[in-house]
Amino acid sequence: MLIIAERINATRRRIGRAIEERDAGLLEREVRIQAEAGADFIDVNAASDPAREIDDLRWAVEVVQRSTDLPLCLDSSDPEALRAGLELIEGDVVMLNSVTGEPDKMQQVIPLAAESGARLVALTMDGRGLPDTAERRVDIAAKLIEAAQSAGIERGRLFVDPCIQPISTSVEQALAVLSAVFRIMQAFPGAHTTCGLSNISFGLPNRPLINRTYLGCLIAAGLDSAILDPTAGEVMDVVRAAEALAGRDDFCMNYIRAMRERL
């Protein structure tokens, strides 16, 4: 299970203020605690102010890179911000978050990922907005995967995000996303699935409970990556247990190791 750590996101008030005030120490601490909690990638989002986003993202990328050896996931809806962030990447591994099924976004972001060798998060939404059924999610995923492969991006670099929506406003969406994850993983061998996990619990009390419960369901459906807070209560325990139960942890060694480290 590949974990993309979500805490460095300018939409969070504390992080947005730190980026605006160039508080490198706060970002460095956030990187450290996420890495220690089990992150594989550090997501970097600096989009609190579109007018400053490119400068803010460049600054944040520099701070995060000097704080960790983990690869970065550059998170922006602006292709030019993604390009600016890519110019500063020092290692060979990077992820772009994200591209959608909108033609202009595909035309701008897919070539950027192809040229840089980046892994790419592909959101199953298009000009009609967020999908409301599993079928529509799979259809958009097929379009994105075909376009990426035509540009020379192999499936293993693609992470399809079925766009989780809050169950507080649309309770049937939890099952629709589970179905979409299963179908995408079956229909497109080699491609990955990921998600912004915390969207599921927006507007509800005890959000960590909803998040980690749903994560277990998603792993059972085939999800093999998630954008989440690895420091949130017990979520990494759920990752290890669910992967063992789903047959994705040989002899349960990752689960056993994780439990031993807590003793």
34-70 confidence digits (pLDDT tens): 999 999 999 999 999 999 999 999 999 999 999 999 9
**Per the domain annotation, does 250 fall within a domain?**
no
* Share above pLDDT 70 across residues of the chain, in percent, rounded to a whole number: 100
Please report the pLDDT score of residue 239 as a whole number.
Answer: 97
Q: Is the per-residue pLDDT at 139 higher than 80? A: yes
- Shortest CA distance to 141 belongs to which of 101, 102, 197, 85? 101
Domain that holds residue 68: 2-235
**Per the domain annotation, does 243 fall within a domain?**
no
| 22 torsion bin: left (phi>0), alpha (psi -120 to 50), beta (else) | left
Please report the pLDDT score of residue 233 as a whole number.
Answer: 74
**Per the domain annotation, does 245 fall within a domain?**
no
CATH of residue 44's domain is 3.20.20.20
Total domain count for the chain? 1
Please report the pLDDT score of residue 2 as a whole number.
Answer: 98
State mean pLDDT over 102-131.
97
Query: pTM to 2 decimals?
Result: 0.96
- Shortest CA distance to 72 belongs to which of 141, 36, 82, 229? 82
Helix (H, G, I), strand (E, B), or coil: what is residue 120? strand
Strand pairing category for 72-75 and 41-45: parallel
Please report the pLDDT score of residue 228 as a whole number.
Answer: 98
**Per the domain annotation, does 256 fall within a domain?**
no
